[in-house]
Amino acid sequence: MSTFKDKIDISRLPKHIAIIMDGNGRWAKERGYDRIYGHQNGVISVREVTEAAAEIGIEYLTLYAFSTENWGRPQHEVDALMELLIDTIEKETPTLNKNNISLMAIGDLSRLPLEAGKKLNKCIDQTSSNTGLNLVLALSYSSRWEITNALKNISTDIIQGKLSQNQINDELIASYLTTKSIPDPDLLIRTSGELRISNFLLWQIAYSELYFTNTHWPDFRKESLYEAICDFQNRERRFGK
């Protein structure tokens, strides 16, 4: 039986895939459980999709794990998410090393609880020499925060004489973003049927291909990712030309 993985042209893989992992809460509600149950099952999808991306040779996978707006959720849900984050990072570090995956993080990481920040930095350090997939977690991230922060830093450097106004161009702005060492996404996936970007990588997805699926994140597994990649490979990318 043919699978979507069999149809993928390995010579034309997207270099960078970004995913808005949506639908954990709706998935849990449909089954009569609390939202946290959905987040817990969403971790299984994170593991599967990360393994799938690594197996076929994707270079960068960015997962929108926690937005700056998510801090406004009920405190018990935020606390549970942070606890889940710490637990998952600690448990998955050996697996990341086994699969030659390095962990990176973007966002306003200073807002993370102290213990979460420590565990995150430890995992980043312990996987930094791996040369396979780069797994990027967007934590306490929003694009408007990122762009605003970049503009503040650019203006500071102009005031301090490190930059002149006529040096400002696309490349310079990109170098002040949290993604400065990461290529722009070729493919952006959003699960759970919502047709919006939700303040995610707004600068970086200027020419990304967008893929929306009704599948809730806890049901999005390896074949789901391969199907999205097949859809991507059937498109013609013109970059505005």
Per-residue pLDDT of 108-130, as tens digits, reads: 999 999 999 999 999 999 999 99
- Residues 86 and 168: their CA atoms lie apart, in Å, by 39
Q: Which of 22, 24, 41, 134 is catalytic?
A: 22
Q: What is the overall mean pLDDT for the chain?
A: 95
For 83-92, the pLDDT digits (tens) are 998 899 999 9
70 is catalytic: yes
184 is catalytic: no
Tell me how many helices (H) and strands (E) the chain has.
8, 6
Q: Which of 6, 24, 34, 70 is catalytic?
A: 70
Which pLDDT value is given to residue 148? 97
Question: Which run of H or of E encompasses 106?
Answer: strand 102-106
Average pLDDT over residues 96-100: 96
Average pLDDT over residues 184-189: 98
